[in-house]
Structure 1
Amino acid sequence: MSHLPLFLLLFSFLLSLSTADVGTASSYSPPYIPTRCFGNDRSQFPSDGTIAAAGSGIWNNGGACSRRYVVRCLSSQTPAACISDATVEVTVVDQAAGLGSRQSMAGTTMALSQAAYRRIASLDARAINIEFAPV
């Protein structure tokens, strides 16, 4: 059995992260609508609820709406908060500064829905350091 397909998949993932940026992420809780991108339209959300609100550095006057990013937890002040080797793909649906729901910490690069945050870190961590790249 050849390991070539697995190697190529891993290589393409690592190549995509070579253009990654670093920042911080917080979590935010429901309600997730209305959003700055699409109002009350629930069809904007992926079925698994992995959404994000863009912080001021990536919001780009709404240009971030619908952008997808792969996000990985690098570190946190909370011990053992990051889930080793885990990534999550999120879709930007909102602006972090204007969220109607509570963030675990304001001023981060991204606010991740609880579903997205749980995939890469413990919700006990108020904020995490992340690596993120466009999909």
Structure 2
Amino acid sequence: MGPNDLFQATECNGNNQDQFPANNMFAAVSVGLWDNGAACGRRYMMRCLSGTDRKTCKVDGSIIVEVVDRCSDPCPANFLLSTPAFAALSRVQDARINVEFTQYVSS
């Protein structure tokens, strides 16, 4: 996802701009996580584990992203993060990073 993230139609809610969280922390997921569309609206807590070098990851803790789309096949990763979400995890804009993630359910 790039700088025009908010202007692209999604598999979850088409052109509805209300689907995007106010903090712009969202993602498209691979077919393995897509679950025939049931992934729409799911939230995942994630943190960066490693990247192209040891300084790639930010060590500020975890972020929470919301699923708003399905990644086009072949998807290069489990998650394609919005620009703000990726920037919260990585110091390097175009790096490939390994993340730890778990589905987040608020209480």
What band does the TM-score fall into relative to the shorter chain? 0.7 to 0.9
Q: Does 1:121 align with 2:90?
A: yes
CA distance in 2, matches of 1:63, 1:123: 32
Two-structure CA RMSD over aligned residues (Å): 1.6
TM-score scaled by structure 1?
0.69
TM-score scaled by structure 2?
0.85
Match of 1:56 among 31, 36, 41: 31
Match of 1:112 among 72, 81, 84: 81
- Alignment partner, residue 43 of structure 1: 18
Which residues in structure 2 correspond to 1:76-95 (within 5 Å)? 76-95=51-70
Paired residues in the alignment total 101
User: Of Structure 1 and Structure 2, which has the larger fraction of its residues in helix?
Assistant: 1
**Contact 1:57 / 1:109 at 8 angstroms: preserved in 2?**
yes
Give the partner amino acid of 1:57.
G
Q: Which has the greater radius of gyration? A: 1
Gaps of 5+ in 1: 1-27, 99-105
Gaps of 5+ in 2: none
SS in 2 for 1:40: coil
- Alignment partner, residue 3 of structure 1: none
SS in 1 for 2:59: coil
**Contact 2:86 / 2:93 at 8 angstroms: preserved in 1?**
no
**Contact 1:78 / 1:124 at 8 angstroms: preserved in 2?**
no
Q: 1:45-92 deviations in whole A, cap 9, x for unaligned?
A: 111100000112201111111000011000012441100142110000
- Alignment partner, residue 17 of structure 1: none
CA distance in 2, matches of 1:44, 1:108: 22
CA distance in 1, matches of 2:5, 2:93: 20
Q: 1:13-53 deviations in whole A, cap 9, x for unaligned?
A: xxxxxxxxxxxxxxx21234210100000101111100000
